[in-house]
Amino acid sequence: MSKVAFITGIGGQDGSYLAELLLEKGYKVIGMIRRSSTNNLQNIKHIKDELILEYGDLTDQSCIDRIIKMYEPDEIYNLGAMSFVPVSWDSAEYTFNVNTLGPVRILESIKKYNRDIKFYQASTSEMFGKVVEVPQDESTPFYPRSPYGVSKVAAHYATINYRESYDIFATCGILFNHESPRRGLEFVTRKITNGAVKIKLGLQKELALGNLESKRDWGHSIDYVKAMWLMLQHDKPETFVVGQGVAYSVREFCEHAFSCLDLDYRDYVTVNPEFYRPAEVDILLANPNKVKSILKWEPEYSFKDLVDDMILREMYYMKV
């Protein structure tokens, strides 16, 4: 009998890649999507007929209860979130409602209806914020620097609390920056690859960015959703840091993206202080030893492979 998985945020980058992975493994996949006047299913249109999609929202307990009672999932992956860090300062209350209370609502539903359900909470490297040590692992203290980061820390500890209080298989994946061609255009990586290709085609003259010296541990979403799945196949719920173990600056991301197009980023990239965060996060660098040793997870994409893939897909989208 096929396993049943319930994914929140299935229309996003991670949700779509995870849905593909689970379908390949023979799962019945249920996805929760929000009602919207615009099409937010672009990332899953190629597999839409293989999925069961239900309207709902992480701010609505009744929606979550209804889906869990109706489909009785074996696994729940909570990937839905208000995930764009800059907006979290402008919409702090909404950020906490979705990012903190959303997973609490799911955990409450699991507690009420079936404590055998395995739960994955998408934690984030943004919880480390102003890092107290480099690199960061599962024991590194959190120092979040945005409402987004704070909301995720609260959800992270809530997940652990439900795990320890109610014997629920609740796992947290602290994933470092993972990108892909399916990333939203508001995120800096897509902004860079999209802008670089437009400049190459003469559709744009320059690219304005914020802090070029910020360093991140960047990987490909395809690799990271495999880690999510492995966490729920493990024999016990734990917390895992997932990353490459190598950090690159935004400047280096620009350098490689533009060089793929035989361009020099210095001729086109400008710095606009408006894009700086109120509280900067200077470097995020993972120590992924635990996930590699225990779950035998290994990324297939390097940093350069990621940027190459994003540039190639941008060119395809623009029909170059």
Catalytic residue set: 124, 126, 148
Dihedral (CA of 35, 38, 41, 45) sign: positive
Q: How far apart are CA 77 and CA 286, in angstroms?
A: 22
Helix/strand/coil (H/E/C) assignment for every residue in 250-283: HHHHHHHHHHCCCCCHHHCEEECHHHCCCCCCCE
- Return the ∠ at Cα 80 (arms to 283 and 273), rounded to 5°: 40
Question: At 79, which amino acid appears?
Answer: L
| Residue entry with tokens 């400008």 | 270
Q: How far apart are CA 107 and CA 158, in angstroms?
A: 9
Q: How far apart are CA 131 and CA 212, in angstroms?
A: 18
* Secondary element (H or E) of residue 105: helix 101-113
Alpha helical stretches, state H, 183-302: 188-200, 221-233, 250-259, 289-294
* Secondary element (H or E) of residue 4: strand 4-8
Dihedral (CA of 12, 17, 18, 23) sign: positive
Q: How far apart are CA 106 and CA 258, in angstroms?
A: 43
CA distances to 10, 85, 208, 238 from 271, in Å: 34, 19, 6, 41
Q: Give Cβ neighbours of residue 114 (< 8 Å, ≥ 6 apart).
A: 68, 72
